[in-house]
Amino acid sequence: MSSVLIVGGTAGIGLEIARHYAERGHRVTLTGRDADRAAAAATEVGGDTTGLALDLAAPREIAAALAGLGAVDGLVLAAIERDVNSVADYDIDRAVRLVTLKLVGYTEVVHALRSRLAPDGAIVLFGGLALQRPYPGSITVSTVNGGVIGLMHAMIVELAPIRVNVIHPGFVADSPYWRDRDLSHAVARTPCGRLAQMADIVDAVAFLLGNPAINGVSLSVDGGILLG
């Protein structure tokens, strides 16, 4: 990968993916909603890394935000906003926001970049365990985590030969969202006895992006928790 774009690269797993590629000499662009925060994250990552601001929840502004970017051969769409919603107490505005961010926003990034994506390049979309293991409040998260699989299938057909894959992390124990919370209940249910770490997710993303035969894979990285 000579040029990698990580949407949602200012924090958490996206930031670790940026570090991975920067340390190996790749040209990296990472994004968040705020230009200063993105620039600071890029400086922290070091190497040939640039920060860029774009808001996936404002999809009509994405093309302009990406206008200055050159060719991309690795695209990681990792951004998320935390959400709590349920059928019983359905907040339509919250639902529309997350669906826009994750499904319309992710798609618009690819649309805006389509002439700059290398034919031998690859895209990784982030879903998550809530697709198959919903929890109270996950109605929209579970929905969009399934939606990215449909997006992957359609993009593979439309963008061929560009490869597209999805990763579904389980509880990522050392990610900022979870690292100070008690996850012993999840460890107890996980057959291999440990939860995924951010390094495990980065390793899986590098595999999905880099292996030229991997296309259309929806990969769970969760220690097998659904079998526990």
Report, in Å, the least distance between residue 120 CB and ligand NAP.
Answer: 25
Q: For the packed helices 139-159 and 92-99, what is the interaxial angle rounded to 10 degrees?
A: 30
Distance of CA 150 to the CA centre of its chain: 15
State the residues that interact with ligand NAP by CB under 6 A: 8-14, 32-34, 37, 54-57, 78-81, 101, 126, 128-129, 169, 171-172, 175-178
Report, in Å, the least distance between residue 148 CB and ligand NAP.
Answer: 9
* Strand arrangement of the beta sheet that strand 218-221 belongs to: 49-53, 27-32, 3-7, 72-77, 117-126, 163-169, 218-221
Return the residue nearest ligand NAP (CB atom): 12
Report, in Å, the least distance between residue 70 CB and ligand NAP.
Answer: 20
Which residues, listed in sequence order, are joined to residue 6 by a DSSP beta bridge? Answer: 30, 76
| Nearer residue to ligand NAP within complex by CB, 74 or 128 | 128
| Nearer residue to ligand NAP within complex by CB, 157 or 188 | 188
Taking a C-beta distance cutoff of 8 angstroms, is the pair 186, 157 a contact? no
Report, in Å, the least distance between residue 12 CB and ligand NAP.
Answer: 2
| Nearer residue to ligand NAP within complex by CB, 120 or 123 | 123
| Nearer residue to ligand NAP within complex by CB, 33 or 118 | 33
As a whole number of angstroms, the distance between CA 119 and CA 43 comes to 30
As a whole number of angstroms, the distance between CA 174 and CA 82 comes to 17
As a whole number of angstroms, the distance between CA 108 and CA 94 comes to 20
| Nearer residue to ligand NAP within complex by CB, 26 or 168 | 168
Report, in Å, the least distance between residue 32 CB and ligand NAP.
Answer: 2
